[in-house]
Amino acid sequence: MAHRYHILLLFAATLKSLTSAAQYTSYERVIPVGAFSIEPHIRSGQLMQGQGSALLAFNAEIGTLGDADMLLRTVDASGTTLHNLTLGDMSGMGYHDVGMEVVQVADAYYLCGYTRSIDTENPPTFTAFLIKTDTALNLQWQRNYLLPAPYELYANAMTATNDGGLLIAGQVYDASGFHTLLMKVSAADGSLVWANRYDLEFSERVYAVRELPGGDIMLSGNVVFSFELVLPLAMKTGPHGEFIWGKYFNYPPMSIVEQSNFLSLHVRDVDDILLCGHTDVMGQGGEDIYVVNIDSSGAVNWVRTYGTPAFDMPSAFQWDEAGQELVALGFSSWFTAAQSPTALSLRIAPDGLLIDSRLHGDTTGAVQNGLLTTSQRLSPSSRLLAGWHGFPAELYVTGVDNDLGNTCNAHAVPISPGNWTTTTGGFSAIITPLSLQLNDLTFNASSLSDEVILCDSPLAAPSLSAAPIFSVQPNPAMDDFVIVLPPESRAIDVVEILDTHGRTVRTMRANNGTRLIIARSGLRAGAYAVRFLRDGLVLGSARLILE
């Protein structure tokens, strides 16, 4: 472990020139940013992958009056900062300016959220905003969307459409309660295409929006039946926002007390949609990571939870196209004596199989209070994870490999997955078109240039051509099967087979060849993960189905 030391990012260009010859997958850094600003992280699951750099997006009270609430920072594979931008209150009143989601379209980033520092009439009201920057974080424009007081707008989620637009979803507040907001704007200049308010029977909050193949729109979030009864929901509209169907999940309620929510939504195909969030009525206990797979009619294909007997709370989900896996990020309170939150990551296969789970950061027993909120692939074999360390004092960034491990602080941990069923109940919505006002007032822009290096243990990341490819033949298999190892994998010393609970059911020594024949005896029908290790480090994995 390297000594802790401070650097000023004024020297980032020099550091970049010294480290550009190699890619790094193993490091830990923190950036002191003070207290968090209402929503600590800005969701960033819709950024381009494998481009050698990553965008970190967070909310933090950087200035004394909250005058810089949003922190955007791009880093390379070694964790070195390339560009950074802080955006915040232009009114001088210390209002919170909350970024909610950032998406990438070509060479531009779009950031949506809500603020009180635009419409500052007495009383000040929340308005929605949309910001565009280039990939060097140069501010291009800001559009603000307003309704006359006492109406307020909250932009909670966003996604790009195939026709060059952006869908923004969130809430409308009308002094009596919250209602769903869905609008479409132009990605070219932020101009409004259409906007709708949806009145449901109960209060709800939308956290995710995606466009389906064909142009229909899917939203997810939660509905508040009472103070202690919160259920997840999903809703589908047509391309212009016309209501098609809405469904509550875990309905009718299993208990009068429940806190469940769909935080994220990923569309892999029109009938292969992942609703991702958390629940406390299924799984191991406390709170568990919760994934429901549905088709475009809302019918449930499968349901899984992932967790321990304590609280395992997700904060973000990212679908990794290169690995064809869902990455779930958050914290677990099970693995320290004080049950303090410890940063947690999971890798989940397309069918819900748990591939791997890890803790990140110091797990020696100290109260760390950490969680992860961001996952991005930098190269075919290098990824980045980010979140909070010493929550909420420091922004935490760590470089990891394909298996989300590193040589600093990453520890494999047992997480129990479970198969479940859920019931659903339908709802409808009354639609009211909205006429929004627009203005172009912008936030103050500045930069934050301090960070601390906790660990710098560089590992040269192999190139795409050097990344070993492992396979199992035949797959699915009825009887014995063969694990095929590429020629460059002769350094592998151990092969493990794990069941859906993450338990090792077979361990074999590699034979320095390229084919390893495995007898099925004792292995039941089902899905398995096959892992390939050298000196205890996981170099790759494959999936195995036994019939």
Q: Which of 215-224, 278-287, 293-302 has the lowest mean pLDDT?
A: 278-287
**CB–CB of 516/509 below 8 Å?**
no
Burial class (CB in 10 A: 0-12, 13-18, 19+), 444: middle
DSSP string, 166-189: EEEEEEEE-SS-EEEEEEEEETTT
Q: Which of 6-20, 285-299, 346-360, 379-393 has the lowest mean pLDDT?
A: 6-20
**CB–CB of 154/118 below 8 Å?**
no
User: CA-CA distance, 167 to 196, in Å (whole number)?
Assistant: 11
Torsion angle, CA of 499/504/507/513, rounded to 10 degrees? 50
User: CA-CA distance, 480 to 203, in Å (whole number)?
Assistant: 55
User: CA-CA distance, 24 to 457, in Å (whole number)?
Assistant: 8
DSSP, collapsed to helix, strand or coil, labels residue 311 as strand
Mean pLDDT of the chain: 85
Give 108-117 pLDDT, tens digit per residue.
999 999 999 8
pLDDT tops 50 at residue 4: no
pLDDT tops 90 at residue 123: no
State the pLDDT at residue 156: 97
pLDDT tops 70 at residue 208: yes
Domain boundaries, the chain: 5-456, 471-546
pLDDT tops 90 at residue 20: no
What number is the average pLDDT over the span 498-507?
A: 74
**CB–CB of 284/278 below 8 Å?**
no
Distance of CA 95 to the CA centre of its chain: 26
Tell me which of 204 and 33 has the higher pLDDT.
204
Task: Count Cβ neighbours within 10 Å for each residue of 238-251 and write b for 16 or more, e otherwise.
Answer: eeebebeebbbbbb
pLDDT tops 60 at residue 8: no
pLDDT tops 60 at residue 421: yes
Give first-to-last CA distance, the chain, whole Å: 46
Q: Which of 63-77, 235-249, 276-290, 379-393 has the highest mean pLDDT?
A: 235-249
Q: Which of 169-178, 258-267, 366-375, 439-448 has the lowest mean pLDDT?
A: 366-375
pLDDT tops 60 at residue 16: no
pLDDT tops 90 at residue 77: no
Give 310-355 pLDDT, tens digit per residue.
999 999 999 998 889 999 999 998 887 677 889 999 999 999 999 9
Q: Three-class SS string for 214-276? A: CCCEEEEEEEEEECCEEEEEEEEECCCCCEEEEEEECCCCCCCCEECEEEEEEEEECCEEEEE
In terms of pTM, does the model score above 0.75?
yes
For residue 291 the two structure tokens come to 């994934």
Q: Which of 3-17, 421-435, 513-527 has the lowest mean pLDDT?
A: 3-17
In what side-by-side order are the strands of the sheet with 471-473? 471-473, 481-484, 515-518
Tell me which of 500 and 404 has the higher pLDDT.
404
Q: Which of 86-90, 263-267, 411-415, 463-467 has the lowest mean pLDDT?
A: 463-467
Contact residues for 21 (Cβ-Cβ < 8 A; gap 6+): none
pLDDT tops 70 at residue 462: no
Give 251-292 pLDDT, tens digit per residue.
999 889 999 999 999 999 999 999 999 999 998 888 999 999
pLDDT tops 70 at residue 34: yes
What number is the average pLDDT over the span 20-24?
A: 45
Dihedrals φ, ψ of 501, to 5°?
A: -95, 5
User: CA-CA distance, 104 to 108, in Å (whole number)?
Assistant: 6
Domain 5-456 has CATH 2.130.10.10: yes
Q: pLDDT confidence of 61, banded at 50, 70, 90? A: confident
Dihedrals φ, ψ of 434, to 5°?
A: -115, 140
For residue 157 the two structure tokens come to 């989620």
State the pLDDT at residue 431: 97
DSSP, collapsed to helix, strand or coil, labels residue 19 as helix
State the pLDDT at residue 94: 75
Q: Which of 191, 219, 196 is nearest to 206 (CA)?
A: 219
DSSP string, 398-443: EEE-TTS--SSSEEE---EEEEE---EEEE--EEEE---EEE----
Rounded to 5°, angle at Cα 192 from 186 and 196? 120
State the pLDDT at residue 66: 64
Dihedrals φ, ψ of 488, to 5°?
A: -75, 0
State the pLDDT at residue 270: 94
**CB–CB of 53/107 below 8 Å?**
no
pLDDT tops 50 at residue 442: yes
DSSP, collapsed to helix, strand or coil, labels residue 117 as coil
**CB–CB of 466/489 below 8 Å?**
no
The class (CATH top level) of 471-546 is mainly beta
Dihedrals φ, ψ of 414, to 5°?
A: -85, 125
pLDDT tops 50 at residue 401: yes
**Cα dist from 277 to 160, 260, 304, whole Å:** 22, 7, 11
**CB–CB of 446/518 below 8 Å?**
no
pLDDT tops 80 at residue 460: no
pLDDT tops 80 at residue 150: yes
The CB density around residue 161, as the number of other CB atoms within 10 Å, is 17
Q: pLDDT confidence of 12, banded at 50, 70, 90? A: very low
User: CA-CA distance, 480 to 458, in Å (whole number)?
Assistant: 40
What number is the average pLDDT over the span 74-80?
A: 88
User: CA-CA distance, 310 to 334, in Å (whole number)?
Assistant: 5
